[in-house]
Structure 1
Amino acid sequence: MMDRIAKSDLAPPERPDTEDVPTERLLSLTQGLSRTLALAGGFLILGAGALVAVEIFARKVLGGSTGIADELTAYALAIGSTMAFPYCLVERGHIRVDSVVRFLPRPLRTALDLLALASITGFFAVVAFHAAETALVSFERGARAVTLLQTPLFIPQGIWALAYVIFVLTGIAIFLVAVSRLIRRDPKGVKSLIGPRSGKDEAEAHL
């Protein structure tokens, strides 16, 4: 009787190849870009710290000042922190209050997760719009910083606004991937993408 069983019946069921799904490829691209931006932002902040150290040395030991530390570190902190926002969204590193949500039925939790993602993306879309508008006005007026460097303000403002735009695009990409997984009836995949981190997830992230 065993001889009559086809080999295909003994083989494990094939899993859907998510690599061929366009939204999953989009997610992979988004994750790579967010990591690159986070690293770049981190190096900017490290550079700001090094510049502060040089400034302290110049003031305490040499009795002078670089005259540019305050301005450049302000740009680095603003831009560097904003560049890390997309990675925070991809890794679900933002704060989520889920004291009540965790007790709700899974479909309702999924709907609230999608609503939360859409809300934060929409909010930062407004922020990105005004940031870009600020940079554009500075460019049109030729505004410069009232500092030793007299930096054209549209340069740091433009980079800062671009980081917000990338955050918004990241949110849209993650939303599309989550909806795609929902359509493919993969609730666990949706939760792992946009759901709040559990205690186990937090522990694994820090190991």
Structure 2
Amino acid sequence: MLRFATQLRRGATAVAAFMAWVAGWNYVACALFITGDIVGRNVFGVSSAATVEITGYMLACGIAWALAHTLACRAHIRVDVLVTRMPLRLRAPLHLFSLALLIAFAAFTAWVAWELVDESALFDAHDNSALRVPMVIPQGLWAVGITAFLAMTLVLMLEGTLALLLGQPEQLDRLLGSRTIDDEAEEALEAVAMAREGSTT
């Protein structure tokens, strides 16, 4: 059962990584859009007349789509000065407790997000820009990112709970605990190795 949960988490992590990749290129496109609008306005006297609205949607969607990957990589900000100093038998259940609180927050946010999409669809809401973008498009993309974040919290809770029940608190700590110096060093070494492989090809 734990092996199945681990495989499920790895699959969810792969999907989250792809979503984060899309979010990253979304920011590149956002920067190019802003740059193009500035050049067009100052050099050619033309503007999209919707830069503020469109880039605002892109930023919001990019953040939402990267949340699941951030959680999977344990790259989110945590204030756990006391927890890291506790013995493992106390630390492990506290990880699950904090994740449960995060699940509650993510579930509420996802519910509100989809309620907003439903309301915009009901009233056929459009923005005030010259493009008159239907609000269900940016709001729907944003809600998808929040939902993926909720799904990742649930997958982590499943694996973490099984690890605790099966007497493997070490795996739970590796899964949900804060990143250590060793984790940072291993990631840096992997990045260097990838850079070397890229330079030799």
The corresponding residue for 1:124 is 106
Structure of greater relative contact order (alpha carbons < 8 Å, 6+ residues apart) = 2
The corresponding residue for 1:36 is 18
Task: Choose 1 or 2 for highest CA Rg.
Answer: 1
The corresponding residue for 1:173 is 155
Contact 2:88 2:170 survives alignment (8 Å): no
- Within 5 A, what are the aligned runs for 1:1-207? 21-207=3-189
Q: What amino acid is aligned across from residue 31 of structure 1 in structure 2? A: T
Alignment size in residue pairs: 189
TM superposition shift of 1:102? 1.8
CA distance in 1, matches of 2:15, 2:135: 26
Q: Which one is further off, 175-184 or 38-47? A: 175-184
Deviation per CA, 1:115-150: give whole Å up to 9, x if none: 111111211111111111111000000111111110
User: Gaps spanning 5+ residues in structure 1: where?
Assistant: 1-17
| TM-score, normalised relative to structure 1 | 0.86
Q: What amino acid is aligned across from residue 105 of structure 2 in structure 1? A: F
Q: What amino acid is aligned across from residue 83 of structure 1 in structure 2? A: W
TM superposition shift of 1:186? 2.1
The corresponding residue for 1:12 is none
Contact 2:5 2:159 survives alignment (8 Å): yes
TM superposition shift of 1:184? 2.9
User: Gaps spanning 5+ residues in structure 2: where?
Assistant: 190-201
| TM-score, normalised relative to structure 2 | 0.89
Structure with bigger helix share is 2
TM superposition shift of 1:206? 3.7
The corresponding residue for 2:197 is none
TM superposition shift of 1:177? 0.8
TM superposition shift of 1:189? 1.3
Percent of residue pairs identical: 30
TM superposition shift of 1:110? 0.6
The corresponding residue for 1:8 is none
Contact 2:19 2:66 survives alignment (8 Å): yes
CA distance in 2, matches of 1:72, 1:118: 34
- Root mean square deviation, CA, Å: 1.5
